[in-house]
Structure 1
Amino acid sequence: MTTEVYLIRHGETMFNQLNKVQGWADSPLTIKGINDLKKTAEALSQIHFDNMYSSDLKRAIDTVHLMKNANEVSEIGKIKKLPEFREVFFGSFEGDDIDQTWECISQKAGLGKERDVQKIINQLGLYKFREATKAADPRHLAENYDELNTRMIRAIKKLREETVNENRVLLVSHGDFIKTLAIKYWNKSDGIHDIAFPDNGSITRGILSDDGKFEIVDYNIKAEDF
Structure 2
Amino acid sequence: MTTEVYLVRHGETMFNQLNKVQGWCDSPLTVKGINDLKRTANALSQVHFDNMYSSDLKRAIDTVHLMKNYNQVSTIGKIRKLPEFREVFFGSFEGDDIDQTWQAVANAAGLAPTNNVVKIINQVGIYKFREATKKADPRHLAENKEELDQRMERAIAVLHQLTLDERRVLLVSHGDFIKTLGIKYWNESDGIHDIPFPDNGSISRGIIHSDGSFEIVDYNMNAAEIVI
TM range, smaller chain: over 0.9
State the partner residue of 1:59. 59
How far off is 1:225 after superposition?
Answer: 2.1
State the partner residue of 2:77. 77
Aligned pairs, number: 226
State the partner residue of 2:98. 98
Identity %: 77
Moved over 3 A (4+): none
Give the counterpart letter for 1:151 in structure 2: R
Instruction: Please give the root-mean-square deviation of Cα atoms over the aligned residues, in Å.
Output: 0.5
Post-superposition Cα deviations, 1:44-80, rounded to whole Å, max 9, x if no partner, equal: 0000000000000000000000000000000000000
Residue 7 of structure 2 aligns to a residue whose secondary structure is strand
State the partner residue of 1:195. 195
Give the counterpart letter for 2:197 in structure 1: F
Structure 2: stretches of 5+ with no match in the other structure? none
Residue 61 of structure 2 aligns to a residue whose secondary structure is helix
Structure 1 residue 145 and structure 2 residue 148: aligned?
Answer: no
What is the TM-score of this pair, normalised by structure 2? 0.98
Give the counterpart letter for 1:81 in structure 2: K
What is the TM-score of this pair, normalised by structure 1? 0.99
State the partner residue of 1:168. 168
Alpha-carbon separation, structure 1, partners of 2:100 and 2:162:
39
Residue 4 of structure 2 aligns to a residue whose secondary structure is strand
State the partner residue of 2:209. 209
Give the counterpart letter for 2:108 in structure 1: K
Residue 153 of structure 1 aligns to a residue whose secondary structure is helix
Post-superposition Cα deviations, 1:102-122, rounded to whole Å, max 9, x if no partner, equal: 011001111021111111111
Residue 169 of structure 1 aligns to a residue whose secondary structure is strand
Residue 33 of structure 2 aligns to a residue whose secondary structure is helix
State the partner residue of 1:88. 88
How far off is 1:23 after superposition?
Answer: 0.1
Residue 220 of structure 2 aligns to a residue whose secondary structure is strand
Post-superposition Cα deviations, 1:76-117, rounded to whole Å, max 9, x if no partner, equal: 000000000000000000000111100110011110211111
